[in-house]
Structure 1
Amino acid sequence: MSEQPTRWTEATVYPDMWTDPDKDPRNSDGVSPDGELPTLQDYLSSYRLTLLMKCEGLSPEQLARRSVPPSTMSLLGLLRHLAEAERDWRNWINDGDPLPKLYGKRDADFDDAIAAQDVVDAAYANLAREQAALDADLAVHPDLGERLGKQQIAVRELMVHRIEEYARHCGHADLLRECVDGRVGQ
């Protein structure tokens, strides 16, 4: 009997990968986008999909599990946190009154990520809504050098910050998911 842990995989050609390359929605036709803005948007889209893929197929209990102690992070908490971040970024580029927090007090996005289907459904809905809203707000500002909002943040800086935030948390999601069911990143 092998001492090696059994890992989830349906890949046959690439046994260490958690999804078959032919089924990976992040894979494109191999042609990279032309231009800086489409490149930034492509990276952001890829990281957003990665996060959703890390959460795929898990129960509310598994999504809410804080699987890397002493951290209070969970996959559900990451979904909620990134929805809150998207809302915050909308506030950065807004000249008016800020939108209210989605989850209230600091760290509520993680602390209140409980294993209930309605909490999971709300997290996915909030994330999708906030992503779409910020994408729509930024679509009317294609000049990466344009400065927006009271803080006068450049569109380029905001795009890079968004990519950095998703990339960082996708790394966390790799570890969290592996600790939940053994499924590893690629």
Structure 2
Amino acid sequence: MNDHPERWSQATIHPDMWADPDEDPRDKEGASPDGELATLLDFLTGYRMTLTMKCEGLDPEQLARRSVPPSTMSLLGLLRHLAEVERDWRNWISDGDPLPKLYGERDADFDGAVADQAQVDAAYSDLAREQAATDAALAGHPDLGERLGEDGTSVRELMVHRIEEYARHCGHADLLRECIDGRVGQ
């Protein structure tokens, strides 16, 4: 007898995958997009979808469940963290006053992630809003070499950093989800 959930997957064709290819919303028919910007946006969209998939079907307690102590990381904390990060990226490219933190200083995005349905709903709403706002702010700058904000961050650097941030946290989400209910990811 142990406290670890049994590993499992919903996939039937490839049992080590999160979902069967014909049911995976990230898999598209046809060729990949043309051009650097379209490719970067495609990867960003895929990682955003992956994070959402890793959280699907879990209740507030499961979403707020912490990883290995002393870490405060949880899937709910990741949703909140990425909403905060999206907002922060807009601060990088803005010439105006920075937008205030959503959840407070330092690690409040993780520390304040508690098992409450209203908080889960707010986290999803915050993330969608902040993603849309950052996407809209960057849509006006299709030249990847353009430098924005006080520090002169290139649009390309920001796009690559966004992909890197989501990819890294999707790896965390794989492990967090497997610890919660044993579901493995690809």
Aligned residue in 2 for 1:159:
159
Aligned residue in 2 for 1:131:
131
Q: Is the contact made by 1:47 and 1:167 (CA closer than 8 Å) also made in structure 2?
A: yes
Deviation at 1:52, TM superposition (A): 0.3
Deviation at 1:105, TM superposition (A): 1.3
Quote the Cα distance in structure 2 between the aligned partners of 1:69 and 1:173. 16
Residue by residue, what CA displacement relative to the aligned partner does 1:134-173 show, whole Å, maximum 9, x if unpaired?
Answer: 0001001000000111111000000000000000000000
Quote the Cα distance in structure 1 between the aligned partners of 2:50 and 2:138. 22
Deviation at 1:11, TM superposition (A): 1.9
Residue by residue, what CA displacement relative to the aligned partner does 1:4-55 show, whole Å, maximum 9, x if unpaired?
Answer: x743333221112121211111001131110000000001000000000000
Residue by residue, what CA displacement relative to the aligned partner does 1:60-115 show, whole Å, maximum 9, x if unpaired?
Answer: 00000013333210000000000000000000010011111001111000000000
Alignment RMSD (CA, Å): 1.3
Aligned residue in 2 for 1:110:
110
Q: Is the contact made by 1:77 and 1:111 (CA closer than 8 Å) also made in structure 2?
A: yes
Q: Is the contact made by 2:93 and 2:150 (CA closer than 8 Å) also made in structure 1?
A: yes
SS at match of 1:166: helix
Aligned residue in 2 for 1:93:
93
| TM-score normalised by L of structure 1 | 0.95
1:65 partner letter: R
Match status 1:25 vs 2:15: no
SS at match of 1:123: helix
Deviation at 1:118, TM superposition (A): 0.6
Quote the Cα distance in structure 2 between the aligned partners of 1:72 and 1:14. 33
Q: Where in structure 2 are the equivalents of 1:138-149 lying within 5 Å?
A: 138-149=138-149
| TM-score normalised by L of structure 2 | 0.95
Taking only the aligned residue pairs, the percentage that are identical comes to 79
Quote the Cα distance in structure 1 between the aligned partners of 2:52 and 2:91. 24
Q: Is the contact made by 1:68 and 1:179 (CA closer than 8 Å) also made in structure 2?
A: no
Quote the Cα distance in structure 2 between the aligned partners of 1:145 and 1:99. 25
Quote the Cα distance in structure 2 between the aligned partners of 1:115 and 1:20. 30
Q: Is the contact made by 1:8 and 1:18 (CA closer than 8 Å) also made in structure 2?
A: no
Quote the Cα distance in structure 2 between the aligned partners of 1:62 and 1:92. 33
Q: Is the contact made by 1:79 and 1:124 (CA closer than 8 Å) also made in structure 2?
A: yes
Match status 1:44 vs 2:44: yes
Flag structure 1 segments of 5+ consecutive residues without an equivalent: none
Larger CA deviation: 85-94 vs 11-20:
11-20
Change (3 A) 1:20 1:68: farther
Q: Is the contact made by 2:6 and 2:181 (CA closer than 8 Å) also made in structure 1?
A: no
SS at match of 2:165: helix
